[in-house]
Structure 1
């Protein structure tokens, strides 16, 4: 139980520091949630709004509000499907691509700084152990 409490405490510290760093440095044009959407769109291509829900762990209404804000600042574009007008496709714009790259660079710089505090061997071990805990390799 002691390890669980200490793990939770350390994870909370890291997460809060990461979130604070990202929100501060992404502002005013981007949030971490918007960055997540842009990254998914870059990896997957155009998607329906409902396809984004598993990546964001949120509700359909929250995704709609997020996409509304992103469309207003021209990070994404929503287009009706030509063969079925009920379907809406979300795609990344050039501005969205630029902001995504900026966000990824900010994140990589931050995480490199965190990981540089431990040896390369321990970095590899940490990534391995995190994969074990998350169930992903």
Structure 2
């Protein structure tokens, strides 16, 4: 059955990527932290609550994640100058460096997988995955 084969292949690819990322990012970064850094690089600053929809987790887990990241000097939290109730999360220079390192690790891993098929089939694969993901 096609769905079973798809599920098996998807699980294997996901597992391989997760294992590789956990191993290569350690000890300074986790995948969740890399996601936060990538979001901050594209947004400049975000409120802690903004991360919930991207990370599919609880506010308490976001707070714990940001606490660890702040302790590791990857992010800083600042109060809004006009409304002190608002806290902004910003990426530090160290966070930017770690983000670039994490992206490079992921890119090399994925390129290794994609290099097994032609450039045309790579584009087709991305197109088809886009169709499935946006369905």
TM-score (norm 1): 0.96
SS of the residue corresponding to residue 68 of structure 1 reads helix
Verify: 1:88 aligned to 2:87, yes or no.
Answer: yes
Distance of 1:59 and 1:12 partners within structure 2 = 25
Deviation, structure 1 residue 67: 0.3
SS of the residue corresponding to residue 37 of structure 1 reads helix
Deviation, structure 1 residue 53: 1.1
SS of the residue corresponding to residue 7 of structure 1 reads helix
Verify: 1:64 aligned to 2:32, yes or no.
Answer: no
1:48-85 superposed Cα distances (whole Å, 9 cap, x missing partner): 00111111111111111100000000000000111111
Which residue matches 2:45? 46
Distance of 2:57 and 2:132 partners within structure 1 = 23
Q: After TM superposition, which residue ranges in structure 1, 4 or more long, deviate above 4 angstroms?
A: none
Structure 2 alignment gaps of length 5 or more: none
Which residue matches 2:21? 22
Aligned length: 135
Distance of 2:82 and 2:119 partners within structure 1 = 52
SS of the residue corresponding to residue 45 of structure 2 reads coil
Deviation, structure 1 residue 20: 0.3
1:65-124 superposed Cα distances (whole Å, 9 cap, x missing partner): 100000000000000111111110000000000000000000000000000011111101
Which residue matches 1:118? 117
Distance of 2:62 and 2:4 partners within structure 1 = 33
Structure 1 alignment gaps of length 5 or more: none
SS of the residue corresponding to residue 23 of structure 2 reads helix
Distance of 2:53 and 2:129 partners within structure 1 = 20
Deviates more, 1:20-29 or 1:50-59: 50-59
Distance of 2:56 and 2:121 partners within structure 1 = 30
